[in-house]
Amino acid sequence: MTPTSRTNRLLVAMLAAVPFALVACGGSSSTSASSTSSTAGAATTAAATGAAGETITMLVYDAFTEPEVLKSFTQQTGITVRIAKGGDTGTLVNKAILTAGNPEGDVLWGLDNTLLSRALDTNGLFVPYASGELASLDPAATALVPNHEVTPVDTGDVCLNYDKAWFATNKIAPPTSLDDLIKPDYKGLLVLENPATSSPGLAFLLATVAKYSPTGFTAWWASLRANGVTVVDSWDAAYYNEFTQGGGGGKHPIVVSYASSPPATVIYAADPKPTEPTTANVSASCFRQVEFAGILGGSKHVEAAQKLIDFLVSEQFQAALPESNFVYPVRTGVALPDLFERFAKPIAAPLTVSPADIAANRDQWIAAWTKAVLQ
């Protein structure tokens, strides 16, 4: 299964009539060279010294936005990083699997926990590396890869988002739970992404599996279908075309997006900017995504790639992630920007499903969803 990957990282939400690029999955491939890197002491690397003068390639999904701070990496190490975009996360991971042992790059960024087991089951796909920074990272994220095949680099939460003004104008209380969506007051208000074609759509499906159990989630989806729901293929189509705050004249005031989307409605708004977001998320609906970076098996620049992994989890790089890619630092103790601190803190108790359970059941859960919702 190849869901379009997480826009996760960009998950930018936008103000009506002010379109902007969010971290969503794209399709075309492109490359850019970066002279990147961290100030002295920003990361304690477990890699050996050396590798200066080398050029390494980091494969990323199309939604990845290169933080300006990445350019300091070369200044410190002498290693040049070439960024190569290769489609959405599912496409990126599929390409890596097909070229295992003879990779198109040295480091892969963006593998998430919905595809983790599938990637790790591919023999030799990654070169294990235990960064010296692991003790500073979220233990729940590092526990997902005890053998260090890949390193967690950020987290994000896929959640229901709603248009605050629409609910105020229509004098309806905004939803506070998944259960609300099957009530008459919310009939026909939701647009969401197909889990067979969209990473946020898959994450939302997994949220319902976690909430209602692997045997009970289909009953909830059948009730949602009866209450009216619009399904589209991608996050872009859901947010920009169908959502009332997406700028495309959409009619649905509830959309599946990200916990970090609301700040984007301020950041990308025209001046004078609003003092608070025009959207909000429903914390009880959120599914936790974790993204990883790993050194690809067959890389001829393993030492340089280790240095890059260390930099990606350094405090300097991690602090730049919220406003560049609309994801949360996986490094503990990194302060969030003010807008995130006030309006989009990481969800305290997100819904989760283990990578092993996802790997074992993903296809059959999608098939069950398809039968309950589309057939």
Which has the minimum average pLDDT: 11-20, 46-55, 214-223?
11-20
Convert the pLDDT of each residue in 320-339 to its tens digit: 999 999 999 999 999 999 99
- What is the residue range of 168's domain? 158-287+348-373
| Residue 88: predicted pLDDT | 80
Q: Which amino acid is at 193?
A: E
Judgement on whether residues 101 and 126 belong to the same structural domain of the protein: yes
Does residue 47 sit within a domain?
yes
Does residue 1 sit within a domain?
no
Sequence-separated (6 or more) residues with CB below 8 Å from residue 318: 154, 329, 330, 331, 334
Convert the pLDDT of each residue in 350-361 to its tens digit: 999 999 999 999
Q: What is the pTM of this model?
A: 0.82
CATH number where 88 lies: 3.40.190.10
Tell which wins on pLDDT, 20 or 315. 315
Tell which wins on pLDDT, 26 or 224. 224
Does residue 2 sit within a domain?
no
Distance CA 363, CA 352 (A): 17
Total structural domains within the chain: 2
Q: Take residue 227 and report the two structure tokens written for it.
A: 């209450």
Does residue 19 sit within a domain?
yes
> Mean pLDDT: which of 74-78, 126-130, 344-348 is highest?
126-130
Judgement on whether residues 358 and 235 belong to the same structural domain of the protein: yes
Q: Take residue 327 and report the two structure tokens written for it.
A: 């994801």
Judgement on whether residues 194 and 316 belong to the same structural domain of the protein: no
Cβ pair 71, 37 in contact under 8 A: yes
Question: Over pLDDT 90: what percentage of the chain?
Answer: 79
48 pLDDT above the threshold of 80: no
Judgement on whether residues 123 and 50 belong to the same structural domain of the protein: yes
Judgement on whether residues 275 and 294 belong to the same structural domain of the protein: no
296 pLDDT above the threshold of 80: yes
Judgement on whether residues 223 and 311 belong to the same structural domain of the protein: no
Judgement on whether residues 13 and 61 belong to the same structural domain of the protein: yes
| Residue 27: predicted pLDDT | 34
Convert the pLDDT of each residue in 166-189 to its tens digit: 999 999 999 999 999 999 999 999
Q: Is 292 helix (H, G, I), strand (E, B) or coil?
A: strand
| Residue 89: predicted pLDDT | 83
Judgement on whether residues 248 and 317 belong to the same structural domain of the protein: no
Q: Which residue has the tokens 């480091």?
A: 107
